[in-house]
Amino acid sequence: MTFYIAAFVALLATVRVITCAVPVHALLYLVVSLLAVAVVFYALGAPFAAMLEVIIYAGAIVVLFVFVVMMLNLGEETVARERGWLAPRYWVGPGLLCAVLLLALLGTFAAGDTAGAGVGMVTPKAVGLALFTRYALVVELASLLLLAALVGAFHVAGLGRFRGPRP
C-alpha cells in the first residue's frame, strides 16, 4: 500500500514539475517527487537506496539547482518577488504531498510490516559486501567520474575568467 501511495505522489509531483512556470516552485515539487521515490525504494525493500536518494538526490543535487537558480535571479525586483513566494499558496501544494508521504510511511510503521523484515530485503550490509568485493572497480570508476565532473564543472563555469556580464 505504501508503494502505491508513494508512486501516486511521485507522479503527481512530477507532473507539477514539468508544468510549473517558476523554477523555484518546480524545484519544490522536484524535492517531493524525489522523496516519494525514496519511499518507493523503501517499500521495495531497499533502505540503502532510499537513504542515498534522500541524501544525494533530494539533498545535494537539488541544492545545486537552488544555487544556480539564485545566481540566475540577480536583480532588484527579485527581492519583492521573493517576498511574494513566501505566500502559503506556493508551498501548500508540496507540503500537502509531503504530508501524504509521511502518513504512508507512518502507516507502514504502525502496521508493523517494516519492509526491513521481509525475506527478500536487500540489506545495506549485502550491498556493501558486494560493492567492495566484486564491484571494487565500479567504485573506482565512480570516483573517476566524479573527479572528471568536478574538473569539468570548474572549467566550464569558469568563475574566475569573467568579471560581470558580457555586453
Partner 1 sequence: MNAVPLEHSLILAGMLFTLGLAGVLVRRNLLFILMSLEIMLNATAIVFVAAGAHYGQPDGQIMFLLVLTLAAAEAAIGLALVLQVFRHFRGVDADALSDMQG
C-alpha gyration radius of the chain: 20
Name which position in 39, 40, 97, 100 contacts partner 1 (CB under 8 A).
Answer: 40
Select from 16-24, 78-86, 89-97, 98-106 the region that touches partner 1 (CB under 8 A): 16-24
Residue closer to partner 1 (CB basis): 95 or 152 = 152
Return left, alpha or beta for 163; rule: phi > 0 is left, psi -120 to 50 is alpha, else beta: beta
**Cα gap 80→69, rounded to integer Å:** 16
Select from 40-48, 76-84, 86-94, 99-107 the region that touches partner 1 (CB under 8 A): 40-48
Which three three-digit cell numbers place residue 152? 569539468
CB of residue 26 to partner 1, shortest distance in Å:
6
Q: Which of residues 112-141 bind partner 1 (CB under 8 A)?
A: 115, 118-122, 126-127, 129-131, 135, 138, 141
φ, ψ of residue 62 to 5 degrees: the values are: -70, -35
Residue owning grid cell 545535494: 60
Does 93 interact with partner 1 (rule: CB under 8 A)? no
Select from 56-64, 80-88, 91-99, 104-112 the region that touches partner 1 (CB under 8 A): 56-64
**Cα gap 113→121, rounded to integer Å:** 12
**Helical ranges in the chain per DSSP H:** 2-19, 23-43, 47-52, 62-72, 77-85, 88-111, 124-131, 136-157
Amino acid (one-letter) located at 95? G
Binding site for partner 1 (CB under 8 A): 3-4, 7, 10-11, 14-15, 17-18, 23, 26-27, 30, 33-34, 37, 40-41, 43-46, 48-49, 52-53, 56-57, 60-61, 64-65, 68-69, 71-72, 115, 118-122, 126-127, 129-131, 135, 138, 141-142, 145-146, 148-150, 152-154, 156-158, 162, 165-166
